Amino acid sequence: MFKVKLWGVRGSIPCPGPETVKYGGNTACLELRFGEEERLIIMDAGSGIRKLSEAILKKDLPKGPIKTSLFLTHTHWDHIMGFPFFVPIFIPGTEIDVYGPVTYEDEGLDKIIGDQLRYRYFPVKHSELSADIRYHPLREGTIDMGDGLHITTKYLNHPILCLGYRFEYQGKSFCTAYDNEPFRNVFPTDPKQPGYDPEAAAEGEAAAREENEKVLQFYKGADLLIHDSQYTKEEYLASKLGWGHTPFETAINNAHKAGVKHLLLFHHDPNRTDEQLEELLEKYRKRIAGKSDLKIDLAREGMEYTL
Ligand SMILES: [Zn+2]
Ligand SMILES: [Zn+2]
């Protein structure tokens, strides 16, 4: 048994309201369950973790103290802001292992997460929490979680260190690739631009292609892929280059190329209404109809998948 449930699917900032009620206004949070005992793994602590917290208190707490691992893709605020509202941190006996990439050596995960729990921001201090919370900086690599679950991590392209995750369990694979922007050539490519050097331009092109290929290989053949798709290609090229996110078109093309079975478009822009999201989905579904076996859907709060 390997299940994935979505508790937050938005990017950047929570955006509740009538225009986002269908797909949800909470930021990134996923619940993963595996094995006979339905062991719990949490991905990201965006605002969606508050509702997950309620569900855990009902489902898991009656069976005994909560033990879980929280894997962070990165520490941008939309991915950690829900942590102070994750109720098990206030319950004695709770054990939480928090994993995530650390960009600045002098600031560990404990400080980045813990600084949200200071009196100037929140009524409880991190040092006053009842749970046993252990922090583990994470790099690219593999982790054996026991009971047959293996996790592989891969650096993505984002303004700070950010990891994609690949979960393998009994021949099934679930991957995440957010927040991520396609790697680009860092050298000038137009001969009219100052500093143009044809050799450097060609090298930069090859390096970007190679890095993008590595990301593709990382989620190759995934049964389920959750991919960043904050912008349309038009929006991206007009004003969002370097913001660290992927256009819909690129996410869909890459998932198709990588032989992914089911793609969930994720990290919806907070300004995008439910209606606009559905219009985009229809457009892209039509575009790939008959050309690809890839199944595409919009990530929606409350969706649950069994792999
Ligand atoms: Zn984000
Ligand atoms: Zn981010």
State in Å: Cα 226 to ligand 2 middle.
Answer: 15
CA of 61 to the centre of ligand 1 (A): 30
Q: What is the pLDDT of residue 144?
A: 97
The Å distance, Cα 74 to ligand 2 centre, comes to: 7
Q: Kindly give the distance from the C-alpha atom of residue 21 to the centroid of ligand 1, in angstroms, as a whole number.
A: 19
Give the pLDDT confidence score for residue 194 in this predicted structure. 87
| Averaged pLDDT, 36-62 | 97
Q: How far is CA 86 from CA 6, 80, 236, in A?
A: 16, 11, 34
The bound ligand whose nearest atom lies closest to the alpha carbon of 78 is 1
Residue type, 36: E
Assess contact for 164 and 143: CB atoms under 8 A: no
Res 277: pLDDT: 98
CA of 11 to the centre of ligand 1 (A): 5
**For residue 12, how far is its CA from the centre of ligand 1 (angstroms)?**
5
Arithmetic mean of pLDDT, 242-255: 97
pLDDT at position 206: 95
Ion ligand 2 residue ranges (Cβ < 5 Å) = 76, 179
The residues, ordered by sequence, that sit 6+ positions from 108 with a Cβ below 8 Å of its Cβ are: 102, 135, 137
Q: How confident is the model at residue 186 (pLDDT cuts 50, 70, 90)?
A: confident
Closest ligand to Cα 81: 1
pTM to 2 decimal places: 0.97
298 CA distance to ligand 1 centroid (A)?
16
Q: Which residues contact 166 (CB under 8 A, 6 or more apart)?
A: 151, 152, 153, 154, 173, 174, 175, 218, 219, 222
